[in-house]
Structure 1
Amino acid sequence: MEHVQEYPPPVAPSAYQPLATRVSVIGPEYCYPQPVDLAVVRKVLTISEGKFAVSDINGNIMFITKGKIFSIHDRSVFVVQSFSDIALFQIMTVHDRWQVFRRESTEEKDLIFTVKRSSMIQLKIKLHVFLATNPKENVCDFRVEGSWLERSCIIYSGESNTILAQMHKKHSVESVLLGKDKFMVTVYPNVDYAFVVALIAILDGINHDDDE
C-alpha cells in the first residue's frame, strides 16, 4: 500500500532555497519544498522501549527506534519505524560499517545505502555515505561532518559544500528542562528527511554503542 504522509510540513523560513534537484533516498514522499525542523529526544522509554524519538516542531512523534533486535559477533540490527510504517527501514552494523535496508529485509537487493568512517581515527565525525547504486564506493554520494558532542553536524551532498541538513542545539526553556538529550535537526528543502533520520540514528548508534 502506498505510503500516505500524515504530518504537515512546518512553516518555511524564507532564508532557505529548494535544491534544484530533489534528494530522495528512502522515498520521494519524505521530500518537502520547505525546510523541515525535527526534534530528536534520546532515551525514550514509553513507546516500544525506543532509544530515541523524532518529532515535528509541534511535538508529534514521526519516527522512533526500536533498539537492538540482536547483537552477535560484532553485528547488530535495529529498526527505525514511523507511525504509518511498521518498519520504515532497519540498520545493520558490521565491523564499523552501517547498512540501511528497506523495511524488515537485510537482503542485498533491499540495500538502500552504506555508511563508513572516512578514517578509523577521528577527533571529529566524518562519515562517507554510499548509495546502493554506487557499489565501487570510489566517491561518496553524501558525507557527514561535525561534532556529536557539541550537537553540531552537517550533512553534505557528495564532496561538495552543498548542505542538505544540519544538527544544532535548540536554546529554549524547553530544551534546558529536557537537557542534553534533546537537539534539533533542520532538513533543507527537497531533501529526504527520512534519510536524514537514518543518518542521525547511525550517529546515535556510533556515539552511544556502550550506552545500554
Structure 2
Amino acid sequence: MKVPDWAYGVPPVSVIGESYCTPYPLEMIVKKKINKLSSTQFEAFDLSGNLLLKVDGGVWNFKLKRVLLDPSGFPILTLRGKALAFRHKWKAHAGESTHDNSNILFSKKEPDFLITGAYTSLSFKVYEGRRLIAEVKHSFTLESFCKGKEKYRVKVYPEVDYAFIVALLVILDESDTP
C-alpha cells in the first residue's frame, strides 16, 4: 500500500492567513506576463481555470514593490525589496502597506522554511523543517521568454498557505531578474 505524500491532522502552515490553507492538495498554474516593459503581472489559477491570486508590480524599477491581490482585487500582501549588489532583500507587509516595520509578515531570510532546487531553472521545493509543503516547476521555453510570458506549475500540500507559496515564487523570480 502506497503512503500518500501528505497526511491528515498535520498542523497548518499559515503565514499570510488560514483562509489560504486548503484541506486538500492544491495544484495551480502561475502565469507571469510582462506588459510593455513597464509592469509585470503574475496570475495564479487552479486547474479548472479559476483565478486565485494576482500580483502586480513594475519591471526594472528600484522600488521593487509587488502587491498580492485576491481575485476581487483586494490587497492581501505587499512585497518590498531592496536591490543589493548580487541579491535582493525582501520584506512582506500585510495588505497594501507603507514602509511600517510593525506589520512585517516575513522576510526573505525566513528561518522556519528551507527552499531547495535549481536556482537557474526556478524550479524548487519548499520545506517546513523536514516536511515538504510545496513544489514549483518552471516551464521555460525561449519562445515564451521572448514573448514576456512564463509559466509555473505549483503543487501546494494540504493545510499550507498557498498565498505564501505564490509570494515566495514571486520573490525568487524577481531575485533571478537582473
- TM-score class, shorter-chain normalisation, is 0.7 to 0.9
TM norm structure 1 = 0.67
> What is the SS of the residue equivalent to 1:20?
coil
> What is the SS of the residue equivalent to 1:51?
strand
Indicate the residue corresponding to 1:41 in structure 2: 31
| Higher RCO, 1 vs 2 (CA within 8 Å, ≥6 residues apart) | 2
Aligned residue runs from structure 1 range 177-192, under 5 A: 179=144, 181-192=150-161
Indicate the residue corresponding to 1:133 in structure 2: none
2:64 is equivalent to residue 93 of structure 1: no
Aligned residue runs from structure 1 range 3-152, under 5 A: 15-18=5-8, 20-43=10-33, 45=35, 49-68=39-58, 71-72=61-62, 75-94=63-82, 95=84, 96-105=88-97, 106-116=99-109, 129=110, 140-152=111-123
TM norm structure 2 = 0.79
Asked if 1 retains the 8 angstrom alpha-carbon contact of 2:33 and 2:42, the reply is yes
How many positions carry a matched residue from both structures?
164
2-structure distance, mates of 1:26, 1:20:
18
Instruction: Give deviations 1:39-58, integer Å, cap 9, x for gaps.
Output: 11111549x95432111111
Distance of aligned partners of 1:70 and 1:34 in 2 relative to their CA distance in 1, 3 Å threshold: same
Indicate the residue corresponding to 1:197 in structure 2: 166
Distance of aligned partners of 1:85 and 1:19 in 2 relative to their CA distance in 1, 3 Å threshold: farther
Report the structure, 1 or 2, having the larger strand content. 2
Distance of aligned partners of 1:45 and 1:69 in 2 relative to their CA distance in 1, 3 Å threshold: closer
Asked if 2 retains the 8 angstrom alpha-carbon contact of 1:69 and 1:78, the reply is no
Distance of aligned partners of 1:39 and 1:148 in 2 relative to their CA distance in 1, 3 Å threshold: farther
Asked if 2 retains the 8 angstrom alpha-carbon contact of 1:30 and 1:193, the reply is yes
Q: Give the RMSD, CA atoms, in angstroms.
A: 2.8
Unaligned runs of 5+ in 2: none
Asked if 1 retains the 8 angstrom alpha-carbon contact of 2:122 and 2:172, the reply is no
Asked if 2 retains the 8 angstrom alpha-carbon contact of 1:19 and 1:189, the reply is no
Unaligned runs of 5+ in 1: 1-13, 117-128, 130-139
Instruction: Give deviations 1:116-158, integer Å, cap 9, x for gaps.
Output: 3xxxxxxxxxxxx1xxxxxxxxxx111211114334201111x
> What is the SS of the residue equivalent to 2:29?
strand
The percent of aligned pairs where both chains have the same amino acid is 28
Indicate the residue corresponding to 1:135 in structure 2: none
Asked if 1 retains the 8 angstrom alpha-carbon contact of 2:40 and 2:58, the reply is no
